[in-house]
Amino acid sequence: MKRVQLAAVEAGFLHHNLVLLADKDRLDVLDSLLAPGESAFLRQAAAQEVSSFSFPRADGIVFVRILKPEKDPYIALEDTRLAGNELLAEIRRYKIETLGIQNCCTENRALAFAEGLALGSYQFLKYFTKPAEKNLLEIRLGPDTATPEVIAEANTLLEAVFLSRDLVNEPHSHFNAVQFGEAVEKAAQEWGFEAEIMGKEKIEALKMGGILAVNQASQIPPRFCVLEWKPAHAKNTKPVVLIGKGVVYDTGGLSLKPSESMDYMKCDMAGAATVIGALAVAAKTNLPVHLVGLIPVTDNKIGENALAPGDVITMGSGKTVEVVNTDAEGRIILADALHYAKKYEPSLAFDIATLTGSAVRALGTQVICYMGTAPKSVKSTLEESGFATYERLVELPLWKEFGDELKSNIADLKNLGSSNAGMITAGKFLENFVDYPWLHLDIAGPAYLRTANGYRTKEGTGVGVRLLYNFLKKNYL
């Protein structure tokens, strides 16, 4: 299916279907672009708080969007993305395929408007038997709003978000661990990063007991994917490592999930999809940062060989874990990947995971819960990137008392704490397997939505791709 793209055009070639973006207190800028009758009508309606207008013309439609004044630049950006997304209903109603955006605001809002419109226009229609309806395909921007380079970069980032969403949206029936590995190989070829897909023998040779234990009941062997983007001009000598939870389907295992929290568990590889999206955009934009992506991939199924609550397993690091609940499987496979990451001596490592229901219960679907051992300065840069991309984060404490809950009677650790602060004890569990600056991003809330929220379309949102790209640019350019 063809997806929307931004296009750089010469001034004057915007299109017959045109959006004019204006500040509420500068409506005069529109006068030269509208007919006198339209201008008069707009002024009168704007005085009564009307902010969106459509003027049909002989050769297309002119949409006017009046944007509210907003002091906070990040909220202003987000309001503009949302305004872009809101235009979609009309675009679809008129079956418009090509649209120009002209900025008449003091600040240049065209790119953010285009971003919201493009992100919101995403659809996953692969499994419908009827052909897709006409879709918005091209958003044109003139040279006064964005250079061709900026537009190319924005397109790459959009495509990476769409890639990440596509991977999450694939149902488990069509996307098991082996197919996941193949998808990584395909993405590596298309986007220009390296990928090695390890099979079960290699995973056994590496003694990744966590991944093997979670995979124990599965008909499908696990995978361990190593992705790498290593440009000659990298600004970092030691890599930034991105680790993604790749549970292609989470039934909970013998600690079986109830049906209402299982039907969407294809999304449990969203962290892995974010890592792939981040490597993809870094490679295509030639980002001067050495990146390594590590993705443990398996389903979490039941069967006669299944891992059982109470079992003790030996992890890749040699530590033993009492598995008191097989539904807390993400931390088990991530621990092996976090341990494996030590060999890179990362300058910084992220793990990104749909890890806990308690993160969702505490902070909902708008927020990434994060915690970690990285320096304060890194955390504040990340939080700033969170506001800039509106993939916002809230930090939670890794105080040692939370770790006390993971003491086991018969092994080094158990995989679950009490029913309180589950997202923190999950983080504490992971902390046992790192010896480098590390950040844990629990995206269980924002990774998957049952219904759309603004330009965050329903199902996979691709959360984290825009955030990580923004952060890497901020930190390394």
Report, as residue numbers or ranges, the catalytic residues.
Answer: 257, 331
In angstroms, rounded to a whole number, what is the distance separating the alpha carbons of residues 451 and 459?
Answer: 7
330 or 346: whose CB is closer to ligand BES?
Answer: 330
The entry of Zn ion, ligand BES, none near residue 17 (CB within 5 to 8 angstroms by kind) is: none
The entry of ligand BES, Zn ion, none near residue 360 (CB within 5 to 8 angstroms by kind) is: ligand BES
The entry of Zn ion, ligand BES, none near residue 278 (CB within 5 to 8 angstroms by kind) is: none
- Of 39-47, 73-81, 171-179, 355-363, the segment contacting ligand BES by CB under 6 A is 355-363
Note whether 307 and 251 are within 8 A (CB): no
328 or 396: whose CB is closer to ligand BES?
Answer: 328
In angstroms, rounded to a whole number, what is the distance separating the alpha carbons of residues 227 and 233?
Answer: 18
Instruction: State yes or no: residue 309 binds ligand BES (CB under 6 A).
Output: no
Q: Return the beta strands (E) in 373-434 as ranges.
A: 393-395, 413-414
- Of 205-213, 321-329, 430-438, 469-477, the segment contacting ligand BES by CB under 6 A is 321-329
CB of 250 to Zn ion, least distance (A): 4
Q: Say which DSSP state 452 is in.
A: -
Instruction: State yes or no: residue 358 binds ligand BES (CB under 6 A).
Output: yes
Instruction: State yes or no: residue 250 binds Zn ion (CB under 5 A).
Output: yes
Helix axes 422-431, 330-341, angle to 10 degrees: 30
The entry of Zn ion, ligand BES, none near residue 358 (CB within 5 to 8 angstroms by kind) is: ligand BES
Q: Given candidates 153, 170, 250, 322, which one binds ligand BES under the rule CB under 6 A?
A: 250
- Tell which positions 257-296 bind Zn ion, by CB under 5 A: 268
CB of 350 to ligand BES, least distance (A): 18
Q: What is the DSSP string of 112-175?
A: HHHHHHHHHT----TT-SSPPPP---EEEE-TTT--HHHHHHHHHHHHHHHHHHHHHHS-GGG-
327 or 431: whose CB is closer to ligand BES?
Answer: 327
Residues 6+ apart with CB under 8 A from 398: 371, 372, 373, 424, 427, 428, 431
CB of 283 to Zn ion, least distance (A): 28
- Vertex 256 angle, CA 254 and 259, to 5°: 155
In angstroms, rounded to a whole number, what is the distance separating the alpha carbons of residues 199 and 40?
Answer: 68
CB of 443 to Zn ion, least distance (A): 12
Instruction: State yes or no: residue 416 binds ligand BES (CB under 6 A).
Output: yes
- Count CB-CB contacts under 10 A for residue 194: 14
Instruction: State yes or no: residue 444 binds ligand BES (CB under 6 A).
Output: yes
- Of 127-135, 147-155, 236-244, 328-336, the segment contacting ligand BES by CB under 6 A is 328-336
Instruction: State yes or no: residue 422 binds ligand BES (CB under 6 A).
Output: yes
Q: Which of 285, 299, 242, 31 is nearest to 154 (CA)?
A: 285
Sign of CA dihedral 305, 311, 316, 318: negative
Q: How far apart are the first and last CA of the chain?
A: 34
The entry of Zn ion, ligand BES, none near residue 444 (CB within 5 to 8 angstroms by kind) is: ligand BES
Q: How far is Cα of residue 215 from the mean position of the Cα atoms in its chain?
A: 25
Site string for ligand BES, 256-285 (x = CB under 6 A): -----------xx-----------------
Q: Which of 156, 232, 153, 142 is nearest to 191 (CA)?
A: 156
Note whether 377 and 268 are within 8 A (CB): no
In angstroms, rounded to a whole number, what is the distance separating the alpha carbons of residues 337 and 331?
Answer: 10
Q: Given candidates 159, 327, 351, 442, which one binds Zn ion under the rule CB under 5 A?
A: 327
Instruction: State yes or no: residue 442 binds ligand BES (CB under 6 A).
Output: no
- Tell which positions 91-150 bind ligand BES, by CB under 6 A: none
Pairing of the two strands 240-244 and 246-250: unpaired
281 or 443: whose CB is closer to Zn ion?
Answer: 443
Note whether 340 and 294 are within 8 A (CB): yes
Instruction: State yes or no: residue 115 binds Zn ion (CB under 5 A).
Output: no
Site string for ligand BES, 370-409 (x = CB under 6 A): ----------------------------------------
84 or 253: whose CB is closer to ligand BES?
Answer: 253
Interface residues with ligand BES (CB under 6 A)?
250, 252, 267-268, 325, 327-330, 354-358, 360, 416, 422, 444
